[in-house]
Each structure stands twice: as C-alpha cells, then as structure tokens.
Structure 1
Amino acid sequence: MTEQRTIGVFHDVSIAVAAWDGAGAAVDLSFACMFEREITGTGPTGGLRHLDDALGGALTELRRAGYFRANPMETLLVSRPPAPVVARAVMVVGLGDPSVWSPAVTAAAAATAARAAVQQKALSAAFAPSLLDAGLAPSATSGVAAVMLAAVAGAIAAQVRIAAIGLAPPLSLRQWVFDVGAAHFDTVAEQFRLALERLDPAA
C-alpha cells in the first residue's frame, strides 16, 4: 500500500505527500517534470522512467523528435493515458537544461502545474519534480521542498483571490500531493510540513 500523509490544509486544499510517481499517482491530474536531457546521458530513471514506460516510451521519443523539447515551462498534456497510468490525465512540465538548474526553476514548474490544475478543473493533483531521475545529486536539491510548496501555495492563493472578486468560479482543487521517494519519505514529509507551517494562512 502506498504511503501517503496529509501535512496540512491551505485555502481548503489538502496538502499531502505520497510515495508514488507520475504513473502511479491516484489523482485527476498527475504532473511530472522533464529536462531537455539527462545528466547521465542514458535516459531518465526512477519515477520518470516508470511514466515513460507506461506511455510506451512516448515521452523520450517525443523529446528526441523535437515535438516536446522540455524547454523551461513547456507543457505536454496526455489527456488519454493508457491503462498502466492511474491518473485521469498526465501533464509533463519542461525544466530546460539540467546544467543550469536551480530550485527556482522547479518552483516555477510547480506554480505552472498548480495553475494548470486549476484551469483543467481538477479536484486532485500530484506533482513529481523528477530531479533525481535526471541525475541531479541529492545534495544539489536541498531546500527544494520549501520553494515548491511556496510556489504552489502562491498559485492557489492567487486563484482564490481571482474567484473572490468575481472573475472566476470558486476553486475546484481539493487535494494537492507532492510525489516523494519512499527511501526518504519521513524526512521529506517533515520538510514540507515545516514549510507549510511557515506560510501565511491569510495569503
């Protein structure tokens, strides 16, 4: 059974972490991130590899052929995923060149994903940063949990405000899940929890 933990609520959206990946996320809309290339040069590993395999190798093939270059914030929506994918739809967000990656790039991708979830009227969404899957060292990704959470919260707060002034319907999103690896689940879950505690609930 997949380990999943709710760490809090922000503007009536339940924020959780789960030890699944883009292919196994049990949500309406599952997000994964992808660089223009992998540092190792051997293709993606881990959760992104699982998602690519579930899609019959389509992600790496579309990137190789230039149809989806994974440029920064470029998106690819798979609205009819095959049976191995649990989510109703999958969106891949580009991260650009891994050699110039910074936490701000992933923060922008998380905000892009949150806005897309709102636009797609998803009730639940999950976000896989896919950083280690591209060959980035764990030490390089330190602190990324806090910036991802802040970015998603900012996108949610903006949509709540837009709805409050009558320019959009009320937010439909009710659950947001960050995909994390099972090996460091407790540590990363605590990082997200502390980051959520630091947010201004009135934002």
Structure 2
Amino acid sequence: MSEMKRPDEKTAQRRNTTVGLACAGLFFCMVGAAYAAVPLYNLFCKVTGFGGTTQVAENESERVIDRKITIRFDGNVNHELGWDFKPAQRNLTMDMGETARLSYVATNIGSARTVGTSVFNVTPNVAGAYFNKLECFCFTEQALEAGETVDMPVVFFVDPDMDNDPELDHVKEITLSYTFFPVETSEQPVTARADQPAAETKL
C-alpha cells in the first residue's frame, strides 16, 4: 500500500500547479501583445503624428488662418533603385488651412523597367499631427520603364489647429521627405499615371 502524501506535499504541488498556470497565461498574454503591438503602434502614430506620421484627410480644411508656414520638400532614393527623384520645387510658403498641390518628379535612369515604393515623414515630428494629405503616392508601387519620367502629385494642407498648440508656437517650417525603395516582386497593381504638370498649383 503506497504511502499517503503529507499535507505539506499536497500544498507544494498545488502551489507549483498554480505557478505553472500563471506562467503559461503570462506567456500567451505576451504573445498576444506582440501581435497587437504593431497595429496599435501604427494607430497611435496616425492619431498623434508621432514619428512624423502625417494625417489623411478626405476634405479640404473649412478655414484658413493668417499664419504663414513654409513647407520644404525633400526626395531620396535607396542606392539599389536606379531612379532620379526630386520635388518640382524645394519650398512653398502658405497659410495654415490653405490647400496646396506639388509634384515630385521621378525618372528611371536605369536600363530596365523597375518598380519602387516610397515611405515618408515630416519634421519636426510633432507637426505630423497637423499635416493632412488629400492625395499622395506614398506606399503605392510605381513602375517606370527605362528612361521614363512621371510626375507624382501631393495635395495637402496644414491644419490651422496647429496655431493653438503651444509646443509648435516657434515652428515656421515643416519638411516633407520621401524615400523610394526598390520592389523586387510586385504584389499589387501599380498606380495609375498622373498627367498633371510638374509644377506647384494652388487648389
């Protein structure tokens, strides 16, 4: 007949089982948090403009205020993509709330068709919460034949609510920067060609 376990042994077993279940629960919670972290971080950036993330607007601003802001434009290309990419003009001074249009110009200087896609940010980063894009070519695959040149328009405005943000009282300039990277295998239809001239036009 087997020896019965003493009360202290039973208590120790229950404690070990509880600790094991707690560890397992913590593990699954951490895994779930890891999967949720990226979309939550992206949502946070979109709402707050953190990291220079701009906003997406469906309509133009309903008001324009008499505070000037200068937008500087910057274009870069990863060394593995044989393109020339730059803004049609380097800067633009506008009123907050005013809608403006500017084109970037991209040329495939390589000998074969290539596909690129761009990422962007604005600086200072905190201004991203007030920089609203109505039209943009970012994150869209762009295919260029060898020697082909296309215009890529950006339509945007700076939210006049920026004037009420004490952190941005001193800000007189915002830089909008794009960087193109090569796409090895196209996974989505490339963007339609824009026929607009490579010059800034106020809407």
TM-score (normalised: structure 1): 0.24
Going by fraction, where is strand more abundant, 1 or 2?
2
Structure with more relative contact order (C-alpha pairs < 8 Å, separation 6 or more): 1
Larger Rg: 1 or 2?
A: 2
